[in-house]
Amino acid sequence: MRLLRWFIGLLIIAAFLYGNFFIYDGIILYKLINVILFCALFVLFRVLFGPSPADRIVAVDILGILIVGLLAILGLVFDQSFFMDIGLIWALMSFIASLAFAKILEGRYLDD
C-alpha cells in the first residue's frame, strides 16, 4: 500500500517534470521558475491541511525562504536588481513573522 502511494507520487512528479522541460516552450529560466512554483504548491498543501498549528507556521516560514530564491531568478530574467531588494525585505519580514507566531504559539504575548 505504502509502495503504491510512493509510486503514484513519483508518477505525478515525473509527469510534471516531463511536461515542464520537454513540452512547455520557454526559456530555461522560466522552466526553473515553474519548478519553484511547483514546490510552493506542496508548501500550500501543508498550510491548508497541516494537522497542527505548528505545521502551518513551519510551512509559512519555508515559503518565505523559497520566495527569495524565486525573486533572485526573476531578477536574472529581467536583468533588474530591485527584485533582490524585495527578496531581502521579504526574508526579513518572514523571519520576524515566524518569531512572532512562535511566541504566540508558546502562549506568550507582546508584554512578556
Contact positions vs another protein (CB under 8 A): 2-3, 6, 28, 32, 35-36, 38-39, 42-43, 45-46, 52-55, 57-59, 61-62, 65-66, 68-69, 72-73, 75-76, 81, 84-85, 87-88, 91-92, 95, 98-99, 101-103, 105-107
Closest CA to 44 of 24, 29, 16, 66: 66
Q: Which is nearer to another protein, 2 or 23 (CB)?
A: 2
Q: Which is nearer to another protein, 23 or 48 (CB)?
A: 48
How far apart are CB 82 and another protein at their closest, in Å? 9
Task: Report DSSP letters for 8-21, one per residue.
Answer: HHHHHHHHHHHIII
Q: Which is nearer to another protein, 79 or 111 (CB)?
A: 79
Helix extents (H) in the chain: 2-18, 28-49, 53-78, 82-106
Residue pair 33/74 in contact by the 8 Å Cβ criterion: yes
